[in-house]
Amino acid sequence: MKVLIADTVLPVCADVLRRAGIEADHRPGISGNDLLKAVADIEGIVVRSDTRITDEVMRKAPKLRVVGRAGAGVDNVDVAAATKRGIVVMNAPGENTISAAEHTLSLLLALARQIPRADRSMRAGRWDRGQILGVELCGKTLGVLGLGKVGREVAARARAFGMDVIGYDPVLSEEVAARLGVTPVPIRAVYERSDFITLHLPLSDATRHLIGADELSRCKKGVRILNVARGGIIDETALHGALVSGHVAGAALDVFENEPPAGSPLLSLDTVILTPHLGASTQEAQEKVAVRIAEQIAAYLKDNLVINAVNVEGIDPRLLPILQPYRDLCERLGKLLSSLARGPVSEVNVEYSGSVQEYPMRPLTASFLKGFLQAKLSDPVNVVNALVLARDAGIRVLETRAAEPQDFTALISITLRGRDGTRVAAGALFGKREPRLVRLDEFHLDALPTGDMLIVSNDDRPGMVGRIGTAIGSASVNIAYLSLGRDRSGGHAIAVFNLDSPVPDDLLRQIGAIDGVLWAERVTL
């Protein structure tokens, strides 16, 4: 067995592999044709963030079984192509938590006391003691956006400085927040109340440019902002404008929309502290990830043990064809409820009834949690770690078996309980493969959980579906499928529209304003 270490990884990585009886070829900086030639006879490859493992690279590596990322993010690996080729992609999450948190605190202190500016002044031969005035951290409010592993460590250290820590996290329960000493607040309150704001969120469609001109205008005048998470969460153009105007007093950035940020106007501002993506750049963090990824690759190559995989999980191969449609259904239900749920969730109950009880429940529950948590957490979520991440977020996960369902041979029902009430969704397979949404809250229906969806709840009275449909048509959006349900005649009803294109913002607002509409949500599955 042979593993190629393609980036600059500490030598301990190769040492661990060799002790396991695996040949290790450490060739940092290898690229292009040299890389394509080097992968011809390898079974594993270790990368950091420089080497890109594309479909072309994998095509040239017929023996490749595992790609190991010495770190958390796998943006430089074509995970979809790897999955299609049966290649496990694994990472080493959490090993850089302390380093990233400490770097955040370093920037926080440097920003508060203008240390880089003072250093530049001294080196220029000046003694600007009277012109450089900082602020204390003690008594200030720190707003933490994202309370995953790094966010929690930052919060703990900020409290030691006497800061009042408030935070927003879409899945963290109030009980866990209380244990952390963090006051959970809506995201708008973070902007309005914080003296310092630090970001610890994943980059996704939902978080890209999460902080733009509108959000910055809501912040307190003189706010200071830090980002040691992912570039792109802050609209850098809007941030530059707010810094120039003086509304934002300062910023400290370790990550950027484009890395390196050549030509960025932020480079010219004295009120900005910039570091070149150093969050994980400590001796300790790099040693931890080097050892961890080597141990995981050795376990997989020698014992077929999958640890921290981002694209596969351990299931009996004989059950995969049977379980896959149920796993797909559960993940779709998770994404649906993730889009509809409001506020923190404290409990998830996954109820299995009928013939699905014959199969292992845990992979199906993990598939639901993957769909539910994926867009909400800063940590990578997959079916291997979904249950652990749910527990860390303070979500109690229950799995129950129920009696035979009346109308289905197999039924999976999900109940969410949280601060803002209860949400229920149930799904079944038609023809053993086609997923269906057969219940949403108190409504029974037959909906397709796929593609662009518009879900509308309204008073059950004549003309409602017509008015909603007319609004959709007027926006040049085509309806592909429609499912209806109601609790009783003259009560409340629900309509689930499958559409041929996404729901525009204006259309969603227009439908929400129709007399008799109780709520309207768009979902993409």
- Does 522 qualify as catalytic in the annotation? no
- Does 423 qualify as catalytic in the annotation? no
**Residues with Cβ within 8 Å of residue 343, at least 6 apart in sequence:** 418, 419, 420
3-class DSSP string for 64-119: CCEEEECCCCCCCECHHHHHHCCCEEEECCCCCHHHHHHHHHHHHHHHHHCHHHHH
- Does 95 qualify as catalytic in the annotation? no
Which one of the listed residues 193, 277, 417, 492 is annotated catalytic? Answer: 277
Q: Which 8-state DSSP code applies to residue 326? A: H
Helix ranges (H only) for 442-516 are: 464-474, 505-512
Which one of the listed residues 230, 240, 327, 486 is annotated catalytic? Answer: 230
Dihedrals phi, psi of 50, to nearest 5 degrees: -80, -50
Are 434 and 373 in contact by the 8 Å Cβ rule? The answer is: no
Which one of the listed residues 56, 136, 259, 284 is annotated catalytic? Answer: 259
Reported in sequence order, the residue ranges of 157-315 that DSSP labels E, i.e. its strands, are 164-168, 183-184, 196-199, 223-227, 248-253, 272-274
**Helix 97-113 × helix 283-303 angle, to 10°:** 160
Dihedrals phi, psi of 66, to nearest 5 degrees: -150, 140
Closest C-alpha to 257, from 281, 236, 226: 236
Dihedrals phi, psi of 39, to nearest 5 degrees: -85, 0
Angle ∠(86,357,403) on CA atoms, nearest 5: 155
Q: Which residues are part of the catalytic machinery?
A: 230, 259, 277
